[in-house]
Amino acid sequence: MEKLSPLQIERLKYQPKLPSSLSNGINSLEMTEGSATQSVRDQEQIQNLFKNTYGKPVVTFKTSSAVSSSEVRNVGVILSGGQAPGGHNVIAGLYDALKSANPANRLYGFLGGPSGIIDGKYVEFDDKFIDAYRNTGGFDIIGSGRTKLETEEQFQKSLEVCKKLNISAVVIIGGDDSNTNAALLAEWFVKNNTGIQVIGCPKTIDGDLKNDRIEISFGFDTATKTYAELIGNIQRDANSAKKYWHFIKIMGRSASHVALEAALQTQPNITLVSEEVEEKKMSLESIINYMCDIIVRRSNNGKNFGIAIIPEGLIEFIPEMKSMISNLNDIMASLESDPSFMSAPSMREKFDVVENRLEPSNAKVYNSLPALIKSQLLADRDPHGNVQVSKIETEKLLIEMITTRLNELKSLGDYTGKFSAQSHFFGYEGRCAFPSNFDADYCYSLGYNAFALINFGLTGYLSSVRNLTAPASEWIAGGVPLTMMMNMEKRHGEMKPVIQKALVKLDGPVFKQLEQNREDWAMNDRYLFPGAIQYFGPSSVCDLTTVTLQLEWSKTPANV
């Protein structure tokens, strides 16, 4: 028998809470429909691409006094994209709901992400299988993958596998790209009269899959609490040693929600927000000057230490860096077939070839960068041929450039302090943590609710559980049409339908909270120490939601 830690044993026993509307079971529900919906933008193009699934209403569930019967259904489930805490509970909630509706129902898990439904690789869940993964982190129950479901051949193969298993519904658990794939698959299944439904569940620790009906994506709560604990520990160390500046890069490429939430939980001295950098067209030099100003002023007060939070995707939001990276992406394919580049005997000579190929303004930016960053910009590309921004050590770039700037100030007599820096990157540490009670409850509810959507015959919907700052019993379960969240964006040179990412709103209450406190936190050490995620104890601690969620939905956060 596998040996489990004491916490594993206790977490397996935890019974997640459900909204009251779902707690009496799937067969005691009634559904209310709202008015017809439309996409967030590009309505004509989206409607044309989703002729069979566009414009559906938002739906809400409530408890019914009548009890209905449920026909036998086989359902398939896919974990798609990067891991996020709580994914196992989505599957557990889905399993419990379908077995509650009809014990003869069967749930199949496709292995390795979307490729599992294409290649016909699957497992069937039973009680023992599911029970071993309840309230645990990770996606190891069936694995995940990033295969896109978008071609006619992939749809045909998926249909063949579903027919073989007599599957009448597929649940795709993923982020914006994965749920875009869910919308495309749902449309294709309806168009071809397959009778197979598709339901999505909102997953991403980045927090950029949300709107009025999807208040938060699952995993964000646990990941940000995990990072906040680590930042708090470093802040305590910095405040003890009083001799290091810690530069902490945090996961979140397209949006800064994770960095912003972690900052509000810990109150560091400097927090950069990518969306602000882009909006204000801040150059790399202006960012360095802003950070150096705080470092010098703190040093003048006898504080040669501090904490700086940096979003993972920052470098792409700096205008001149964004332009240079775009230009670099365009020329890399030709460089890889260029003998002068491929056979260059040194990195210095490779840099020279790149600079000669870049447009003059972009070449100047590239030339100004430290050799380490230049090399990382030329490293392996992502599957689309683009720079892998997550592998660029932005925190080290900032440290090196700040060091150079401080030395200049020292030579001018404008700085007399000591600057010693440590760098950190928190990413994978948060993706597979034991889900917080909030994520355990929320994910279980999302999965349970996904089967309710299936049971009412819906397709092309995203499982929606909202009113999340209230106790779980008061949460509102329902569904949002996937097409409602879509717009057209350029991908690989073509306009494609995609779910619109939700970036940090600079006029919103979350960023405003940071903005109002930024100067105070810069100069005075208002550090908060959140500590480890708590699973047992008072609800005010164990069931606490993120500061982001509380601010966005007009609640007063306990720690701000």
Q: Residue 559's pLDDT is what?
A: 47
Pairwise CA distance, residues 294 & 309, whole Å:
14
Per-residue confidence in pLDDT tens, the chain, 560 aa: 578 999 999 999 999 999 999 999 999 999 999 999 999 999 999 999 999 999 999 999 999 888 888 899 999 999 999 999 999 999 999 999 999 999 999 999 999 999 999 999 999 999 999 999 999 999 999 999 999 998 999 999 999 999 999 999 999 999 999 999 999 999 999 999 999 999 999 999 999 999 989 999 999 999 999 999 999 999 999 999 999 999 999 998 889 999 999 999 999 999 999 999 999 999 999 999 999 999 999 999 999 999 999 999 999 999 999 999 989 988 887 887 888 888 888 999 999 999 999 999 999 999 999 998 999 998 877 666 677 877 889 999 999 999 999 999 999 999 999 999 999 999 999 999 999 999 999 999 999 999 999 999 999 999 999 999 999 999 999 999 999 999 999 876 789 999 999 999 999 999 999 999 999 999 999 999 999 999 999 988 999 999 999 999 876 554 44
pLDDT number for residue 335: 83
State how far the Cα of 462 lies from the Cα of 260, in Å rounded to an integer: 26
- Give me the residue spans of the domains in the chain: 6-219+435-491, 223-430+508-537
Strand partners, 421: 245
Same topology between domain 6-219+435-491 and domain 223-430+508-537:
yes
Q: Cβ(528)–Cβ(535) under 8 Å?
A: no
The pairing of beta strand 270-271 with beta strand 306-311: parallel
Q: Does domain 6-219+435-491 have CATH number 3.30.420.40?
A: no
H-helix or E-strand spanning residue 34: strand 29-36
Task: Extract the tokens encoding 127.
Answer: 């009680």
Question: Nearest Cα to 554, choosing from 260, 215, 154?
Answer: 215
HEC sequence for 37-99: CCCCCCHHHHHHHCCCCCCCEEEEEEECCCCCCCCCCEEEEEECCCCCCCHHHHHHHHHHHHH
* 208-234: burial string, b at 16+ Cβ within 10 Å, e else: bbbbebbbbbbbbbbbbbbbbbbbbeb
Q: Comparing C-alpha atoms, which of 250, 246, 204 is closest to residue 427?
A: 250
Q: Give how far Cα 354 sits from Cα of 37, 345, 383, 498, Å.
A: 49, 14, 21, 33
| CA 417 and chain centroid, separation | 39
> Is the distance from CB of 226 to CB of 434 less than 8 angstroms?
no
3-class DSSP string for 132-150: CCCCCCCCCCCCCCCCCCC
**CATH code, 223-430+508-537:** 3.40.50.460
Q: Which residues are tagged catalytic?
A: 206
Residue type, position 361, single letter: S
State how far the Cα of 156 lies from the Cα of 492, in Å rounded to an integer.
Answer: 24
